[in-house]
């Protein structure tokens, strides 16, 4: 929110309706107060996400998701009702933001798990890339809906979206189908025939203690029954961390989401201050980054499906994104779309297809109760970056906007480095030196012909 772009209403006007004339946000330090609200939500969301996935594996998905949506609508509406109740206490808004951040963590692990239950490995990247466009569309629609009342009765900018999400929560409760088997449909193929026919590693097994991938001497396939009711219990937090690739992709997403959320929160202000556009024009231009995010998510999914290299796709896009971030300083509008695609493409791929791949990892031996926990760990780690990015931008921007972009480029490079091990194994697999087994690469016994 850029208060300088809104027409100020005299303090003695009892009909003041904009954020910038509403105590306690009518003070000179309004930027810090708005920052406190943002950080309260983002930190609560990041912390809650690590816990949310654990509950998501142990509760009925339909109840968990719909309940979280209704509660999100409740807390969002309570925020807006402060306008009609004339609440001017900062702590009220911060507490509502914290509660909202916590209940909204029920969403992402649940929806990724549901989509992952329905779609197998074959076209998962493309399907989830198209499906993930709802995040950018939601950003655009949310801005448009909230913008209708932002200068007249700002409380409705929160109440109306709150009512919408609560209604959709009821719709999900009534119509959501968690598993294909519930409606007599065939379950998806999570592992290709070539992977299933490959020689099994006799040492990779499922730990009975926490459901994680561990190493033992023998495997008894009878220990892993196919019936859902007889599957092993939900995986533990540490067990999910031991799935190959979870830590690497989580740390990569931390820095990728740092870049994405810095653009989300600071791009309009940068456009106003540096490009000298009006506040409305800045808001319109900033949506180009979301448009690029839609294209990038679909493109990343399509490429990763074709190459069977999720990590390599992410790494290449992040490498190309680094100079694109710098070019925004010179070629503004066009680079916003390109940069949005290259930054949000890996972000979308990791939070959707990669999370689903790792949550149905072959070493879990059919244990379906890992998707939500894995998704929560990956997105929770990324949310730490989402909280740090805008905070760092606020601290660095007084020294010059160029330094903010250098910070973003550094984060982009760090995201690539955390994927380097996985990328190396994927490339070696393409060369025929390794046999890929559903997101995990095992060393072949014979010597690679490339080195002969």
239 contacts: CB under 8 Å, gap ≥ 6 = 207, 209, 210, 211, 212, 213, 370
How far is Cα 112 from Cα 353, in angstroms, rounded to an integer? 8
- Residue 315: inside a domain: yes
Could you read off the pLDDT tens digit of each residue along the chain, which spans 452 residues? Answer: 445 444 444 444 445 455 567 778 777 777 778 878 888 998 999 889 888 877 877 788 899 999 999 999 999 999 999 999 999 888 999 999 999 999 999 988 888 888 888 887 667 788 888 888 888 888 778 878 887 887 778 899 899 999 999 999 999 999 999 888 888 887 776 655 444 444 344 444 445 455 555 544 434 444 444 444 454 556 677 777 788 888 888 898 999 889 888 888 788 777 777 777 776 677 777 778 888 888 899 999 889 888 888 888 999 999 988 888 877 766 666 677 888 888 888 888 888 888 877 776 666 555 556 777 888 888 888 888 888 888 888 888 888 888 888 899 999 999 999 888 888 888 887 776 544 444 444 434 443 444 33
Give the pair of three-digit tokens for residue 405: 């972009």
The domain that holds 391 is classified in CATH as 1.20.1250.20
In a domain, 150, yes or no: yes
Whether 206 is covered by a domain: the verdict is: no
132 falls within a domain: yes
Residue 157 lies in a domain: yes
Full residue range of the structural domain in which residue 402 is found: 29-182+235-430
Looking at the chain, how many residues does it have? 452
Q: What count of Cα atoms within 13 Å lies in the side-chain half-sphere of residue 286? A: 25
- State if pTM tops 0.85: no
Task: State the total domains in the chain.
Answer: 1
Residue 380 included in any domain? yes
């Amino acid at each position: 929110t850029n208060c300088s772009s809104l027409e100020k209403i005299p303090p003695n006007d009892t009909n003041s309706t904009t954020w910038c004339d509403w105590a306690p946000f009518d003070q000179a330090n309004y930027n810090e107060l708005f920052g406190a609200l943002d950080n309260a939500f983002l930190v609560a969301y990041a912390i809650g996400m690590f816990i949310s996935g654990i509950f998501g594996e142990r509760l009925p998905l339909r109840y968990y998701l719909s309940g979280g949506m209704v509660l999100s609508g409740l807390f969002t509406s309570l925020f807006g009702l402060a306008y009609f109740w004339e609440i001017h206490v900062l702590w009220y808004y911060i507490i509502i933001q914290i509660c909202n951040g916590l209940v909204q963590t029920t969403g992402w692990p649940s929806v990724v798990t549901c989509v992952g239950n329905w779609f197998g490995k074959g076209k998962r990247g493309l399907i989830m890339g198209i499906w993930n466009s709802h995040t950018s569309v939601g950003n655009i629609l949310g801005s448009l809906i909230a913008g209708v009342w932002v200068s007249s009765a700002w409380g409705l900018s929160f109440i109306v979206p709150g009512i919408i999400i609560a209604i959709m929560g009821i719709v999900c409760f009534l119509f959501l189908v968690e598993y294909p088997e519930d409606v007599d449909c065939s379950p998806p193929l999570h592992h290709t025939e070539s992977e299933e026919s490959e020689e099994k590693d006799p040492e990779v097994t499922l730990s009975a203690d926490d459901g994680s991938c561990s190493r033992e001497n023998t495997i008894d396939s009878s220990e892993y029954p196919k019936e859902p009711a007889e599957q092993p219990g939900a995986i533990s937090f540490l067990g999910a961390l031991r799935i190959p690739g979870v830590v690497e992709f989580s740390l990569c997403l931390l820095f990728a989401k740092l870049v994405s959320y810095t653009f989300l929160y600071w791009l309009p202000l940068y456009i106003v201050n540096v490009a000298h556009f009006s506040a409305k024009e800045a808001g319109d231009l900033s949506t180009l980054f979301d448009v690029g995010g839609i294209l990038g998510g679909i493109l990343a999914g399509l490429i990763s499906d074709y190459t069977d290299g999720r990590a390599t796709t992410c790494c290449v896009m992040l490498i190309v994104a680094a100079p694109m971030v710098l070019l925004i300083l010179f070629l503004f509008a066009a680079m916003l779309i390109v940069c949005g695609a290259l930054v949000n493409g890996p972000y979308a791929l990791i939070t959707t297809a990669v999370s689903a791949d790792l949550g149905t990892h072959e070493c879990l031996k059919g244990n379906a109760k890992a998707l939500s926990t894995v998704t929560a760990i990956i997105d929770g780690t990324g949310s730490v970056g989402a909280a740090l990015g805008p905070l760092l931008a606020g601290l660095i921007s007084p020294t010059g906007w160029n330094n903010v972009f250098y910070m973003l480029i550094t984060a982009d490079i760090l995201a690539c480095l955390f994927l380097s091990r996985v990328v190396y194994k994927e490339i070696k697999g393409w060369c025929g030196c390794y046999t890929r087994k559903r997101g995990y690469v095992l060393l072949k016994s014979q010597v690679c012909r490339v080195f002969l």
